[in-house]
């Protein structure tokens, strides 16, 4: 099927997003669209045809990352095994925290906030908040199914992320976080999920009980 005007192929789109990420990490969010286009190997007009602004580029990068982070929430059978799914989401959060490019991108967003507050807001809404919102939707579905009791699903989502991150996110941003092996990541995620289930699962009343 021929592409519509303004559309670009998947490979070129990925190249643009990867180049944007690299440029923001290297030069900051104030870097020019010309530099992004040069690194992506496309024209500046091609970027503008597909993404109208830097905010749109940031939104697309964040959406790609959120999709990766929350993949476990949409996996077959995810709703039927909440503790395993919550642990899988926790593992994804920790692995993202150990991803040098993700942390560097977060630093770039933070450093740009005073001069470019709209861009920082876009990063926050399309990245961290979107990930929590997706997890909150999962928790709300579990609550409706009677497997969890999360009256405020967004608060519950924030509670779990706090369990997983603890002081680790600050350490990662400061560049002093110690590396974590896969078995340690799994242990932290499973222990956090178990505590979460005790907090929000033990409140579920057995059927027929007052």
pLDDT reading at 207 higher than 70: no
Q: What is the mean pLDDT of residues 7-13?
A: 78
Q: What is the mean pLDDT of residues 101-124?
A: 96
Q: What is the mean pLDDT of residues 154-172?
A: 96
Residue whose tokens read 């078995």: 183
The C-alpha atoms of residue 113 and residue 135 are separated, in whole angstroms, by: 26
- DSSP secondary structure of the chain: -PPPTT---HHHHHHHHHHHHHHHHHH-TT--HHHHHHHHTS-HHHHHHH-SSHHHHHHHHHHHHHHHHTGGGGSTTTTT-HHHHHHHHHHHHHHHHT-HHHHHHHHHHHHHTTT-HHHHHHHHHHTHHHHHHHHHHHHHHHHHHTS---SSHHHHHHHHHHHHHTTHHHHHHHT-PPP--HHHHHHHHHHHHHHHHHHHTTTSPPTT--
For residues 8 and 112, which has the higher predicted lDDT (pLDDT)? 112
- Of 44-48, 56-60, 63-67, 71-75, the one with minimum mean pLDDT is 44-48
Cβ-based neighbours of 62, under 8 Å, separated by 6 or more: 122, 123, 126, 127, 130
- At residue 10 the predicted structure's pLDDT band, cuts being 50, 70 and 90, is confident
Express as a percent the part of the chain with pLDDT over 90: 88
Read off the tokens for 156: 């519950």
- At residue 4 the predicted structure's pLDDT band, cuts being 50, 70 and 90, is very low
- Of 1-5, 53-57, 105-109, 158-162, the one with minimum mean pLDDT is 1-5
- Residue 8: its pLDDT value, please? 60
Q: Do 95 and 184 meet the contact criterion of CB atoms below 8 Å apart?
A: no
Cα distances (angstroms) measured from residue 64 to each of 38, 44, 57, 83, 102: 22, 22, 11, 25, 12
Mean pLDDT of the chain: 92
pLDDT reading at 96 higher than 90: yes
- Residue 209: its pLDDT value, please? 42
- Residue 202: its pLDDT value, please? 74
In the chain, what's the furthest Cα-to-Cα distance? 66
Domains located in the chain, CATH noted: 7-52 (1.10.10.60), 62-200 (1.10.357.10)
Cβ-based neighbours of 128, under 8 Å, separated by 6 or more: none
- At residue 9 the predicted structure's pLDDT band, cuts being 50, 70 and 90, is confident
- At residue 110 the predicted structure's pLDDT band, cuts being 50, 70 and 90, is very high
pLDDT digits (tens, 9 = 90+) for 33-42: 999 999 999 9
Q: What is the mean pLDDT of residues 136-159?
A: 97
């Amino acid at each position: 099927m021929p592409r519509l005007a303004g559309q670009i192929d998947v490979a070129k789109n990925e190249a643009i997003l990867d180049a944007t990420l690299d440029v923001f990490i290297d030069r900051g969010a104030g870097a020019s669209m010309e530099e992004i286009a040069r690194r992506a190997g496309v024209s500046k007009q091609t970027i503008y045809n597909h993404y109208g602004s830097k905010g749109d580029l940031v939104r697309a990068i964040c959406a790609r990352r959120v999709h990766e982070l929350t993949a476990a929430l949409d996996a077959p059978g995810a709703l039927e095994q909440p503790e395993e799914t919550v642990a899988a989401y926790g593992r994804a959060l920790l692995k993202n925290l150990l991803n040098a490019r993700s942390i560097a991108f977060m630093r770039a967003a933070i450093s740009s906030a005073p001069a470019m507050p709209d861009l920082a807001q876009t990063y926050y809404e399309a990245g961290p908040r979107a990930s929590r919102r997706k997890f909150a939707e999962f928790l709300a579905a579990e609550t409706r199914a009677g497997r969890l009791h999360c009256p405020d699903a967004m608060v519950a989502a924030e509670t779990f992320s706090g369990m997983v991150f603890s002081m680790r996110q600050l350490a990662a941003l400061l560049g002093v976080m110690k590396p974590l092996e896969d078995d340690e990541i799994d242990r932290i995620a499973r222990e956090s999920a178990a505590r979460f289930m005790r907090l929000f699962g033990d409140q579920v009343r057995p059927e027929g009980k007052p």
